[in-house]
Chain A
Amino acid sequence: MFGEAQMTTKPPRRVPDEVAATPGEIAAAIEALTPGDWARLKRSADYRIWKLGPEKADSRTADDLIQTALTDLLVDTRRWNKSKVGLIRLLTEAMRSISSNWARSYKEAETAVLEADLRREDEEGDIFSPLDNLQEPGPNPEQRLRDKQTLELIDDLFKDDEKAQMVLTAWQEGYDPPGVREFWGLSQNEYNAIVRKIRRRLGAAALTADHDRGGN
């Protein structure tokens, strides 16, 4: 069955000065992004904002998330080693970390704890924060209710699709794509088709609903 997710703590290793991309190199990489890259960036930001919900996002949009990730890069909070990771992968990982910090800040604001943003990324492009090892306060009842309702909404969207439910359940348990395929005995093509269907249905339903309430 599904095993426990492995938690590891890596020591922070900054990308060395000599290989960190300059603002000029970042601009050149932005210029070179393909239409597919822009779509991936947009979609990744949408998912993160959608997950945050209106309370934790606190009026911040997908654009704000993208801009924060870029600004982190420009002001050297985060560094990019071009030879190790692409710009889109770097930005999406940055957005994952930033949105997680926004969620954490929201929780901690409730207990009046001031949090300094200490997020950094190591040489491999993985995100590290000294706060990662601290025990987080749990979600409040409203957040728990919202998380439950969101999961129910997703469940409802795929109630007539057993295979999509299989994949979604495995994802929720932290399984990676090879793990999901192996567990449910799915071929690569089957898995890809199911994932496409999940993204399309969610894109049409949940993300559209998010736009209606003020997201980008």
Chain B
Amino acid sequence: MSNKRTDEEKLDALIDALGDSVLEASDEEILEELRMSGVDPDAEAARLKAMMLGTVKAFRQRALEAARAAYSRQIEQMEKKPYPIPKTPTERRKLFSFFAQQPQFAEFVTAQYRNLEDLTDIDIETYLEDLAELGILEKLNRDKSDGE
């Protein structure tokens, strides 16, 4: 037999073979061997199961908390962001009216927003903020300036 292997390599190979043999062993064999080495298989299985499921649970909670924190940060940023919309309800209504009449933005104006008189000031303010967030208001102002 070859003697070229170092003791470290021999041990590695031996442990690999032992590990593989454990995977091939029957349930009865491996459970009996565990008992013979002084380990209660049922108690050990319950302990390992609780440990591993606890790790998965902690990981999932961390992932959920990270997603929640990212969402909160995004909302916070949106709330802090000053939108370039008129300060008074009358001016906002006037801008919205102008926007709604522009054919190039018709796709953004759904049926419920076409009747200006039915919309509250808050509806219009929110809608303009959404348009600002999407960059559409900026484009509208640019078109308006170009037209003038």
A residues with a Cβ closer than 8 A to B are 1-2, 4, 23-24, 26-27, 30-31, 33-36, 38-44, 47-48, 50-51, 63, 66-67, 70-71, 74-75, 88-89, 92, 96, 138-139, 143-144, 147-148, 150-151, 154, 168-174, 176-177, 195-196, 198-200, 202-204, 207-208, 211
Q: Which of B6, B19, B30, B60 is in CB contact (< 8 Å) with A92? A: B19
Contacts of A23 in B (CB 8 A): 56, 59-60, 63
Given contacts A2-B2, A30-B53, A173-B1, contact A147 B7 (CB under 8 A): yes
Q: Can you name the residue of chain B whose Cβ is closest to the Cβ of A208?
A: B37
Contacts of B34 in A (CB 8 A): 39, 42-43, 203
Decide if A34 touches B27 in the complex (CB within 8 Å).
Answer: yes
B residues with a Cβ closer than 8 A to A are 1-2, 5-8, 10-31, 33-34, 36-39, 41-42, 44-45, 48-49, 51-53, 55-57, 59-60, 63
CB distance from A69 to the nearest CB of B (A): 10
Contacts of B38 in A (CB 8 A): 208, 211
Decide if A36 touches B11 in the complex (CB within 8 Å).
Answer: no
Q: Can you name the residue of chain A whose Cβ is closest to the Cβ of B7?
A: A147
CB distance from B19 to the nearest CB of A (A): 5
Decide if A51 touches B12 in the complex (CB within 8 Å).
Answer: yes
Q: Can you name the residue of chain A whose Cβ is closest to the Cβ of B42?
A: A35
Contacts of B52 in A (CB 8 A): 30, 66-67, 70
